[in-house]
Structure 1
Amino acid sequence: MTQSDQSQYIIRRGELAHGDYELDLDPERAGWEWSSLRVIALEPGQSAEVPGGEHEFLVLPLSGGCTVEAGGSAYEVAGRESVFTDITDYVYVPRRTDIRVTAAERGARLALPGAKATADLPLRYCPRSEVGTGLRGAGPSSRQVNNYALGNEVSTSHLLACEVLTPGGNWSSYPPHKHDEHTEVERVLEEIYYYEVRQGGVGDDSAEGFAIQRIYPSPGHDIDVCTEVRAGDVVIMPYGYHGPSVAAPGYDLYYLNVMAGPAEDSTWLMTDDPHHTWVRQTWEDQEVDPRLPMTPMN
């Protein structure tokens, strides 16, 4: 696949920016039906109206905190300094719900991972204690996963969302896996990867830091992507085996995964590439990278 062909799956920082939105990726732009992601940046005390629609979504602080107002109620979200330093509280917003967000005194960058919904659920404030945290892999495949709407207590219609933190030099999303057919062990899920990078285990949003993302064909699906990604970039994955996500040595990698599909069980089921699944067995004899966890865990 040529560079021009793979470019349809890669969105560089700023390409879908407008107004207060650093990113506004809807299903039409992605060329699919279910998954969406917006990132909004607000100055201290600044407010923004987020209209209701057919998508459910999370108000998930990347940095800073905010107040979320909806239906006559207000929810204080403490947030965090950085995705590399902490997990965060957040708010689940059901479909057809208008909200107003107001940044706290230090400002806010808010991710709004979303999915087309087919059920009506209650709006819900979610404390940090409900984030499902864990370490996956071992050795150079070690990474940390923070689940916000995936296998924890948060009920959604179709939305799945988690964060992955990968120390510099490590591989994550590995072994490569897919979720592009509905079986007993797999679900069809459209997936968005949103990236942040920091330098040398300190600071945030390194302009020079980078990672490498790979996607390649699965049975019946022709896709071939191998690209450098930097802070604020997005890669969309409609199908195919995806992985690894490789953090360059010296640069820690964060990505937010947003997934959704037609199944109504809100379940993450995937299938490893059978050529590489044996790698999991090697983890039994390796220690988890001592640089993990990067953030406090539950």
Structure 2
Amino acid sequence: MTTSPYGPHHLPADKAPGGPYAVDVTPERAGWGHSALRVLELPPGGSHTFDTGESEWIVLPLGGACTVAAADDFGHDTFALHGRPDVFSAVTDFAYVPRDARTTVTSTGGGRFALTGARCERRLPARYGPASSVPVELRGSGTCSRQVNNFGAAGVFECDRLIAVEVLTPGGNWSSFPPHKHDEHRPGEESVLEEIYYFEFAAHDGTPGLGYQRVSPSGRGRGTDVLAEVRDGDVVLIPDGWHGPSMAVPGHHMYYLNVMAGPGAERAWLICDHPDHAWIRGTWPEQPVDPRLPLYSAPERSR
């Protein structure tokens, strides 16, 4: 078992930076083929330009507002993102930028912005995703209750390979439970997806939060085995294995951003529950959803 600190699959916040990014997880750094995550911190009036290369990206405000401009041989698009104060207060709007484009993120007031990416083949058009279009799902019940903001889920927003969602877990609850995996190709049942978890926690009276992440070997791939204490800005890489639970300590809500992509022709999140724990899903109808959820809902669509 790999325990923190720090094993190759747990990147604490101070171990994850690269270049201009507070977090920089490339396929090369992760040792896989597709999924990527960057976290960009901009001061008031700050701006950053990057080439999307062979990857598609979603620019997602974690805190603050920004303008996203994407230019390529097909034209130029600019999107004003209203953003949000922080991940625990609101659903955010976002922007999709295609591969082979030069992209600039500018923030008048400053902020933190996640760039969720995946290597891809198709070039799709740049697009704006309004907060009102994000499905907010309440998953599980009892102490397994959590909120999922499905902004970049398969079947919700079109990408070539990228799948990305946000999960909010009230303090004391367990997410990613029952443990599940997606590390083998079984048509209609399971898809191969590399996954990144990026964490933030709600503080209490100035005290930072924390949580725990478990990944156990599934008998396939690298035999990934992690038990990590995770804090603000930490990243856990999951190339294979049963992942879960993700545990929020009492008193501190937990947020994680999931970024997934894989080699399959079908962009789909198909998972297999751990056989020892799959039964827990059958208990959910007997229990109420945690009354603290939803922490917030998506705004209504303008008419």
Q: Pick which of 3-12 and 48-57 moved more.
A: 3-12
**How far apart are the structure 1 equivalents of 2:207 and 2:241?**
29
Separation in structure 1 between the aligned mates of residue 3 and residue 173 of structure 2, nearest angstrom: 26
Secondary structure of the corresponding residue to residue 283 of structure 1: helix
Provide structure 1 residue ranges, at least 5 long, that are not aligned to the other structure. Answer: none
Which amino acid letter does the alignment assign opposite residue 85 of structure 1? S
4+ residue segments displaced more than 6 Å: none
The equivalent residue for 1:83 is 87
**Which amino acid in the other structure matches residue 126 of structure 2?**
L
Q: Does the alignment pair 1:220 with 2:223?
A: no
Matched residues in 2 for 1:5 and 1:181: separation? 29
Could you tell which deviates more after superposition, 287-296 or 4-13? 4-13
Alignment of 1:129-208 (within 5 A): 129-184=132-187, 185-200=189-204, 208=208
> What residue number does 1:54 align with?
54
Q: Secondary structure at the match of 2:209?
A: coil
Aligned to 1:95: 99
Q: Is this contact kept in 1: 2:133–2:298, CA < 8 A?
A: no
Distance of 2:16 and 2:104 partners within structure 1: 22
Which is further off, 157-166 or 146-155? 146-155
Q: Please show how residues 1-298 of structure 1 align to structure 2 within 5 Å.
A: 1=1, 3=3, 7-71=7-71, 72-105=76-109, 107-184=110-187, 185-200=189-204, 208-221=208-221, 222-297=223-298
Aligned length, in residue pairs: 293
SS of match in other structure, 1:291: coil
Letter in 1 for 2:136: T
Aligned residues of 2:201 and 2:209 also touching (Cα < 8 A): yes
Per-residue Cα deviation, 1:129-181 (whole angstroms, up to 9, x for no partner): 22121100000000000012113442111000000000000000000000000
CA distance in 1: counterparts of 2:105 and 2:5, whole angstroms: 38
Q: How far apart, CA to CA, are the structure 2 residues paired with 1:91 and 1:168?
A: 30
Q: Give yes or no for contact 2:61–2:94 (8 Å, CA) kept in 1.
A: yes
CA distance in 2: counterparts of 1:22 and 1:6, whole angstroms? 18
Shift of 1:117: 0.6
Partner Cα distance (1:57, 1:287) in 2: 37
Q: What value does the CA root-mean-square deviation take over the aligned residues?
A: 1.7
Give the letter for the 1:238 counterpart: P
One-letter amino acid matched to 1:123: A
Deviation at 1:4, TM superposition (A): 8.4
- Is the 8 Å Cα contact of residues 157 and 264 (structure 1) preserved in structure 2? no
Distance 2:126 2:77 in 1: 10
Q: State the secondary structure of the residue aligned to 1:118.
A: coil
TM value normalised by structure 1: 0.94
Structure 1 residues 13-68: Cα deviation after superposition (integer angstroms, max 9, x where no partner): 02232453111110111011110000000011111102120010100000001011
**Aligned partner of residue 7 in structure 2, secondary structure:** helix
Query: Using the alignment, how far apart are the partners of 1:163 and 1:195 within structure 2?
Result: 10
Taking only the aligned residue pairs, the percentage that are identical comes to 49
- CA-to-partner distance for each residue in 1:94-118, whole Å, 9 max, x for gaps? 111111110032x121000100011
Deviation at 1:81, TM superposition (A): 0.6
Task: State the TM-score, normalized to the length of structure 2.
Answer: 0.93
Q: Give the direction of change, closer, same or farther, for the CA distance of 1:213–1:53 in structure 2 (3 Å limit).
A: same
